[in-house]
Amino acid sequence: MSELLKPPVVPSAMLTFFASHPDFHAVAGDITEEFHQRVQSSGERAAQRWFRREAFRNALALTWREMRRKPILTVIVAFGCFCSVNLLSLPLELFNPRFTVLILLNLAASIAMGWIGAKLLTGQEWALALIYTLVTAFITLPILWHIFLVFPLRDHLPVHFRAALIDGQALRQVFFWLGCLWVRYVNNRKHSSIVSAAKSA
């Protein structure tokens, strides 16, 4: 009876995000097996609570393992992507922040650099997305602090200039993550089809 009961959907999807990770199948198999045992011994609700905790804990462990694999190279690629995206987008933001091409340029540049960076670091797409966000925060937060709080003419800066800086960075983050996670999704699909073919052979 417990074999027919499936683990909670959201924690399972969170684990599936790491499907191309070398340890994924061992981790997923172990906690799914334990989940079924706990359904019989402790009941469905207790087993689901346990599964959520374990899925979250394992997702954190797999994230940490992914970030530790090539940390220096990942930081270099993230920094290169940050510079490339900003060099392409910033001049247009300063020129005319309401120009519709701004959104298209942020979309194209950020998704493209997320995709390229993720292709350079296959299997570390998630680590790249996280480190890209850290690099962005490390570089842009001091700049924004100086512009908005220290810069002597801050009260005379146009409102659209301030909005362009903040909105532009937010757009670039979202689209870069989409580029990275798109590659992750494709890689997970390929990995799952290879595993399925190997099992059926």
Distances in Å between the Cα of 169 and the Cα atoms of 136, 147, 162, 165 are 8, 15, 11, 6
Instruction: Flag whether pLDDT at 75 surpasses 90.
Output: yes
Tens-place pLDDT, residues 17-50: 888 887 788 888 888 888 988 888 888 888 889 9
Residue range 127-138: mean pLDDT, rounded: 92
* Whether pTM exceeds 0.75: yes
Q: Mean of the per-residue pLDDT values for the chain? A: 81
List the domain boundaries for the chain: 2-68, 70-191
Encoding tokens for residue 1? 């009876």
| CB within 8 Å of 49: residues ≥ 6 apart | none
